[in-house]
Amino acid sequence: MTNFFEKSDLSRNEAENIISDTLQKCDDGELYLENSKSESILLDDNKIKNSSYSSDLGFGFRAISGEIVAYSHSNEISKDSLKQSSENLKSTLKSVKGNYNHEIPKSNKKYYDNINPIEQKSLNEKIKILNDVNKYIRSKNNNVKQVTANFLGEQKSIEIIRSGGESLSDIRPLIRFNVSVMLEKNGRKETGVYGIGGRQSYDSYLKEDNWKNVCDEALRIASVNLESKPAPAGEMKVVLGPGWPAILIHEAVGHGLEGDFNRKKTSAFHNLMGQKVASEGVTIVDDGTIDNRRGSLTIDDEGTPTEKTVLIENGILKNFMQDRLNARLMNTRSTGSGRRENYRHIVLPRMRNTMMLSGKQTQDEMIKAVDKGIFAVSFGGGQVDITSGKFVFNCTEAYEIINGKIGSPIKGATLIGDGPSILKEVSMVGNDMMLDPGIGTCGKAGQGVPVGVAQPSILINKMTVGGTKL
């Protein structure tokens, strides 16, 4: 645990007094303290291109009255700095008369260990693996023109101090290992990217030369793309593979079910609670409680223990994801979804690990049911306009399906759909639910947070594929 007051002229006791004094007539608020350490080691173009280390320390002070949020943050944990922040908050909330909500649920469950992954493996060991990755990939295929591999590791310690002095804390490890390969053949270049990660030590992911599997996968995707032909353009059936393609769920419905957009009635889902928004058999949960997953949290950034929140049950919309502010204003409870990128940012309701649960069909049955369409196995990023409900994502590995059979690979194309209606177009749900490999970062209002996704194979009756072949 970081002692945030150890090297400061500000004592814990004084901080508690300033917090309680500032928040006394507010509805909610807290002091959030954060100390994070992170490293990045990058191999590129046959060389260790970059090794960097970063340490970040700061606080964010938040006061809420009614719907109004006042926030102030600084890098300096000192008496002057906290008092200055307190003055900023008070000057925004000039005449408040709220009732501070002291209630915050408790849980003893933890979903990851108190480790610092950076310290658990020496720099030389990490550099050796990156060099081995480079040699391994280049030895496997003569068309390799570029290999990029990197390690990202971090440990984030947080403490939340609420009015009255209640303190909640968490230590969050996170690592990621990523490999990117570019192949060139007959003047044509294509890339393949793959990565793994989560809230454990590097070795938990790399043991028994598991890094070779990551290299093989990146190489395989690049090789497939080298043979790809132009993607079709227009509406057609789409089969999505299991695992990472669930970013479709994340974009298409996840964001639209976040509490803030629904309180403000700017989400296409705001008036659909209790109604049928998906085909029967479609159940979607957002779960912060899976051990060691990238999107898991022991407590969220307001101190609320995370949970498994059922969003859509058998096609019916059941819950939104809530932080404390939006929960209070919508007369419900926080689902432990209040998150922020770091102390520089305010809390927003966010996703954790968003998952569509397994159904009964097999992927084979889905492919056989398609006369003309595409089979999408892996995606790059996605994006959604939550108001119109339109969302996109980019295929990084996809194939055409002709008369129930998988055909040639096709070039990366954007798929576009309509969030509120897409889940009604799901006509088969597979029995092969899979978690993604631990690589997702979700962006909202300029803040990136680590998330996970999962889904089985699914068949969507109608989506627009943005290729170039008419």
Partner 1 sequence: MVKDQVFLEKKASYCLDLAKKLGATEASVIVSNSISETVNFRNKKLDESNRSDNLSIDITTYVGKKKSSISSSNLLNENLNILLEKCIETTKNTPEDEFNSLPDRDLLAKEVKDLNLYDDTNLKNDHKIDYLKKLEASAAFNKKIINTESSFTQNKSNFILANSEGFCDGYKTSSFTASSVTVAKDENSMERDYEYSSKCHLEDLEDAEKLGKLAADQTIRKLSPKKIGSEKISIIFDKRIAKGMLSAFASAISSSAISRGTSFLKDKINQKIFADSINVFDKPDILKGLGSRSFDNEGVKTDTLKLVDNGILKNYLIDTYNGKKLSLKSNGRCGGASNLYFENGRMGYKDLLNSSSKSLYITETIGHGSNIVTGDYSVGATGFLVENGEFKYPINEITIAGNFKDMFQNITLANDLDFKYSTNSPTMMIEGMVVAGK
Burial class (CB in 10 A: 0-12, 13-18, 19+), 447: middle
Taking CB under 8 A as the criterion, which residues in 170-199 touch partner 1? 182, 184, 188-191
Contact flag: residue 55 with partner 1 (CB under 8 A): yes
From the list 2, 5, 20, 57, which residue makes contact with partner 1 (rule: CB under 8 A)? 57
In whole angstroms, how far apart are CA 190 and each of 27, 55, 148, 196, 316? 54, 36, 14, 21, 42
- Nearest approach, Cβ of 383 to partner 1 (angstroms)? 4
Measured from the Cβ of residue 13, the count of other Cβ atoms closer than 10 Å reads: 9
Beta carbon of residue 61, minimum distance to partner 1 (angstroms, whole number)? 9
Member of 50, 114, 275, 408 binding partner 1 (CB under 8 A)? 50
Q: How many residues does this entry show for the chain?
A: 470
Q: Segment contacting partner 1 (CB under 8 A): 108-116, 152-160, 204-212, 390-398?
A: 390-398
CB 193, CB 429: distance < 8 Å: no
Contact letters (x/-) for partner 1, 60-99, by CB under 8 A?
-------xxxxxxxxxx----x---x--x--xx-------
Question: Is 329 an interacting residue with respect to partner 1 (CB under 8 A)?
Answer: no
Residue 11 within binding range of partner 1, rule CB under 8 A: no
Minimum Å gap between C-beta 76 and partner 1 is: 7
CB of 143 to partner 1, least distance (A): 12
In the bound complex, what is the minimum distance in angstroms from residue 340's beta carbon to partner 1? Answer: 12
Which x/- pattern, by CB under 8 A, does the window 420-459 give for partner 1? ----------------------------------------
Site for partner 1 in 96-135 (CB under 8 A): 123-124, 127
- Taking the C-alpha atoms of residue 268 and residue 420, their distance in angstroms, rounded to an integer, is 7
- Identified binder of partner 1 from the candidate list 239, 393, 401, 429, rule CB under 8 A: 393
CB within 8 A of 327, min separation 6: which ones? 259, 333, 334, 335
Task: Tell me which residues in 234-293 interact with partner 1 (CB under 8 A).
Answer: 234-235, 264-266, 268
Among 6, 7, 187, 331, binds partner 1 (CB under 8 A): 7
> Can you tell me the distance from the alpha carbon of 156 to that of 306, in angstroms, rounded to the nearest whole number?
17
Q: Which one, 164 or 381, has the nearer CB to partner 1? A: 381
In the bound complex, what is the minimum distance in angstroms from residue 111's beta carbon to partner 1?
A: 28
The count of chain residues that interact with partner 1, using the rule CB under 8 A, is: 79
Q: Please, which residues have CB within 8 angstroms of residue 249's CB and are 6 or more apart in sequence?
A: 284, 354, 355, 356, 453, 455
User: Which is nearer to partner 1, 97 or 265 (by Cβ)?
Assistant: 265
Tokens of 144: 């390799």
Q: Which one, 39 or 217, has the nearer CB to partner 1?
A: 39
Over the window 21 to 40, marking each residue x when it contacts partner 1 by CB under 8 A and - when it does not, the resulting string is --------------------
Do 351 and 286 contact (CB within 8 A), yes or no? yes
Question: 334-373: which residues touch partner 1 (CB under 8 A)?
Answer: 344, 346
**In this complex, which beta carbon is closest to partner 1, that of residue 108 or of residue 470?**
470
Which one of 296-304, 401-409, 414-422, 425-433 is the stretch in contact with partner 1 (CB under 8 A)?
Answer: 414-422
Tokens of 360: 């009964």
Task: Tell the smallest beta-carbon distance from residue 431 to partner 1 (Å).
Answer: 30
Residue 438 CA from chain centroid, whole number:
9
8 A C-beta contact, residue 294 and residue 326: no
Span 207-226, contacts to partner 1 by CB under 8 A: none
The answer to whether 247 and 256 have CB atoms below 8 angstroms apart is: no
Stretch that binds partner 1, among 286-294, 358-366, 379-387, 431-439 (CB under 8 A): 379-387
By CB under 8 A, which span of 135-143, 212-220, 357-365, 380-388 interacts with partner 1?
380-388
Q: How far is the CB of 60 from partner 1 (least distance, A)?
A: 9
